[in-house]
Structure 1
């Protein structure tokens, strides 16, 4: 392995569970009860998909949904350092010491990515940072991974991806990449298409994938 591409939400930070809780509160505040299962398809999706879901459930325009969501999350700031995944620092230092190129490919907007990396004190590790907001199609479309691979400039056979969602795994596989699926018992994601399923980032330092 010469390079590794990380998804962000659910991989570097345990944000998917936190976002689920916040979305349920968002709807509850507006008198709408949402089951956790109804939110599972949002894992790994774009902000546009989130906005369209809110608009459909609250019977309003997408623009109005965007405004409501923006205001809500501004009033419910997430402390990303508190939800940084275990072993993130150790893993990134390990990969750096082994001269593995690190990239980040996330469906999140760039301002959110930068905020997360800064709060988690890991912004210096990634040579390439790619946001899904720069593409017409997001995961499970492989475009973001195809682009990131071109930026890295090594054979796809030498690249691994770390993902936590079905959308992300599908996108990476469509791009011809090997994928590690990071299992989270609270998210009910089907990771069976991943080449390797791990339960902790620590395992990446132990697996014989070099």
Structure 2
């Protein structure tokens, strides 16, 4: 059985570009220089709120109002998403539709809290593709710890070593790799490093590249699967709680 676990922010949804705008807007209000925003953001990509606060304290000092800054940025992000809609990454509908038609088991594993993940996927029209959804509030140890990917595989009823993961961040790739999944990286804010090239089975420019790779390398791929009904917008199960390829980027 083909199984794939996706990250959300920066992989399926282009929310990290929205986050960048919010940080640049809110940063000066909290004493963050414009030149410092990008380095801070890069260190926080793929982290949950607690990890981001730790990073901000480490970089800006214990007196920095990290909680207030992150709250202000989060509110700005939500304002933009409500105003302009959820931005979907190129290739996301195509790869999810293709995998769903193959009968693949699909999960979503995000550091974002589960309720927010479900809301954003629903607003983007992608929620119904997933058989299992887990957010950062349902784990004890966040990425790069493998816990979230192990739980995602458990929720799908599949073995990690037989499952693909699609990630964009360093911590996400580390998490999936440590859990034993075959990890595919689609860089967003962060460029791939030598470590990422070692950990990832493939690095791709976009999700179309991932789709092509799975079509060529997945164990099952039925080209006559177009008659399978597409999802109706609802999750279909409960939500219980050869480094072979690198495309030119």
TM-score for the superposition, normalised by structure 2: 0.75
List aligned pairs for 1:124-203, cutoff 5 A. Answer: 124-184=128-188, 186-190=189-193, 191-192=196-197, 193-203=199-209
Separation in 1 of the partners of 2:137 and 2:87? 23
Out of 39, 42, 45, the residue aligned to residue 41 of structure 2 is 39
Separation in 2 of the partners of 1:28 and 1:158? 46
Q: Is the 8 A contact 1:107 1:139 kept in 2?
A: yes
Note the residue ranges of structure 1 that are not aligned, 5 or more in a row: none
Label 1:74 to 1:51 Cα distance change in 2 as closer, same or farther (>3 A). farther
Separation in 2 of the partners of 1:172 and 1:129? 15
Which fold has the larger relative contact order, with Cα–Cα distance below 8 Å and residues 6 or more apart in sequence? 1
TM-score for the superposition, normalised by structure 1: 0.88
Separation in 2 of the partners of 1:91 and 1:51? 34
Q: CA deviation at 1:50?
A: 2.2
Instruction: Give CA-to-partner distance per residue, 1:128-148, whole Å, 9 cap, x none.
Output: 000111122100000011111
Rg larger for: 2
Note the residue ranges of structure 2 that are not aligned, 5 or more in a row: 219-249
Instruction: Give CA-to-partner distance per residue, 1:107-166, whole Å, 9 cap, x none.
Output: 001222122101210111100000111122100000011111111112323210000011
1:8 is matched with: 8
Out of 84, 92, 99, the residue aligned to residue 95 of structure 1 is 99
2:217 is matched with: 209
2:235 is matched with: none
Q: CA deviation at 1:20?
A: 2.1
Separation in 2 of the partners of 1:30 and 1:77? 22
Q: Is the 8 A contact 1:156 1:177 kept in 2?
A: yes
Q: CA deviation at 1:78?
A: 5.8
Label 1:71 to 1:8 Cα distance change in 2 as closer, same or farther (>3 A). closer
Query: RMSD of aligned C-alpha atoms?
Result: 2.3
